[in-house]
């Protein structure tokens, strides 16, 4: 085999590619009673048919901060929600949710009165030799006083967790944020190694790049679900490892979708 051909063969031998799909929706007025969830469930089932590695998350739901019997949390579990990024005003009642729910709670800067973290602070998913690490951040300035939990400054926590993810050899760093646009930009300015930020509570969905970091600000409207597809390419040579991410996204309306019968039944019980 010629040397050039041998070199190209060796180079391609260490090339990896994977597509990760993340579905995200936010809190809404109608979600407080769960009325939007049956349509969201039907939409998720439809969209997941052509997705590969799937993660489903709810970002900053106020619904979990209100007094209820755990019904909405149980419905999230029935829907197969993987992660919920806690709202800063949900902290007083969140311990019961963490204990009973199947989904994982995101909020790396949440600590209890003994300075212990609320739950596992960093999470991972991987495919084809590509490892994605992610965690959630809340804005400490929006924290509603709680007798059980406090919020560390998000920049302090981000520095600590990004370093932890690097040590664990992740190829992509994703942050689920309820910080708002200006704080997301501040986060990227301080930590340009962040690859993707999925944020919450914008009046209208918008995605843009800050440097090399892709920021997606989802809608807070109950009839919209955001789909993010992250195509990741990782090339390894004897000299270096280079990882590139190519994000695409679209916001999908569930207006024309029929409500999911099982979730509707749970809502109306």
pLDDT of residue 176: 94
Q: How confident is the model at residue 222 (pLDDT cuts 50, 70, 90)?
A: confident
DSSP H helices, 101-237, are 154-167, 181-190
* pLDDT surpassing 50 at residue 7: no
Task: Give me the CATH topology for the region 16-268.
Answer: Purple Acid Phosphatase; chain A, domain 2 (3.60.21)
Q: Are 16 and 233 in contact (CB under 8 A)?
A: yes
CA distances for 156 relative to 211, 226, 252, angstroms? 21, 29, 35
Q: What is the pLDDT of residue 27?
A: 63
Alpha-carbon distance of 205 to 213, in angstroms, equals 17
User: What are the structure tokens assigned to 234, written together?
Assistant: 């990782």
Of 2-11, 85-94, 160-169, 220-229, the range with the lowest mean pLDDT is 2-11
Predicted TM-score (pTM) of the model is 0.88
Question: pLDDT tens digit string along 114-140?
Answer: 888 877 789 998 999 899 999 999 888
> Is pLDDT at 220 greater than 90 in this prediction?
no
CA atoms lying within 13 Å on the CB side of residue 65: 17
| Per-residue confidence band for 28, with pLDDT thresholds at 50, 70 and 90 | low
Question: Taking phi first (over 0 means left), then psi (-120 to 50 degrees means alpha), and beta for anything else, what does residue 153 get?
Answer: beta
**pLDDT higher than threshold 80 for residue 239:** no
* pLDDT of 9 above 50: no
Q: Of 157, 154, 138, 37, which Cα lies nearest the Cα of 90?
A: 138
Q: Which residue, among 32, 66, 52, has the nearest Cα to 229 in the 3D structure?
A: 52
Question: Where would I find the H helices in 101-219?
Answer: 154-167, 181-190
What is the tens place of the pLDDT at every residue in 199-218?
876 667 788 999 999 999 87
Comparing CA positions, the residue from 98, 107, 88 lying closest to residue 145 is 88
State the pLDDT at residue 101.
Answer: 82
Give residue limits of the domains in the chain: 16-268
Q: What is the pLDDT of residues 168-194, one digit of tens each?
A: 999 999 999 988 888 999 999 999 999
d(CA 98, CA 116): 14
Helix (H, G, I), strand (E, B) or coil at 254: coil
**Closest by CA position to 23, among listed 2, 65, 54, 60:** 54
């Amino acid at each position: 085999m010629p040397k050039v051909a041998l070199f190209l063969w060796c180079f391609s031998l260490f090339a990896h590619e994977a597509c990760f799909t993340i579905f995200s929706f936010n809190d809404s007025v109608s979600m407080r009673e769960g009325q939007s969830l049956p349509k969201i469930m039907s939409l998720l089932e439809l969209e997941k048919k052509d997705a590969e590695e799937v993660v489903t998350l709810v970002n900053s739901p106020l619904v979990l901060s209100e007094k209820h019997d755990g019904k909405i949390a149980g419905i999230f579990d029935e829907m197969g929600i993987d992660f919920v990024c806690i709202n800063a005003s949900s902290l007083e009642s969140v311990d019961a949710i963490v204990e009973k729910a199947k989904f994982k709670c995101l909020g790396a800067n949440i600590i209890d009165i003994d300075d212990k973290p609320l739950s596992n602070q960093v999470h991972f998913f991987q495919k084809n030799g590509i490892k994605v690490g992610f965690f959630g951040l809340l804005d400490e300035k929006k924290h509603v006083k709680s007798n059980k939990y406090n919020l560390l400054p998000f920049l302090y926590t981000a520095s600590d967790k990004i370093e932890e993810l690097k040590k664990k050899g992740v190829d992509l760093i994703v942050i689920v944020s309820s910080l708002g646009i200006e704080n997301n930009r501040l986060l990227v300015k301080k930590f340009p190694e962040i690859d993707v930020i999925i944020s919450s509570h914008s009046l209208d969905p918008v995605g843009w790049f800050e440097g090399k970091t892709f920021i997606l600000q989802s809608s807070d409207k109950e009839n919209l679900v955001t789909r993010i597809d992250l195509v990741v390419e990782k090339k390894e040579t004897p000299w270096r490892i280079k990882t590139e991410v190519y994000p695409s996204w679209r916001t999908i309306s569930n207006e024309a979708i029929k409500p999911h019968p099982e979730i509707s039944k749970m809502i109306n019980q």
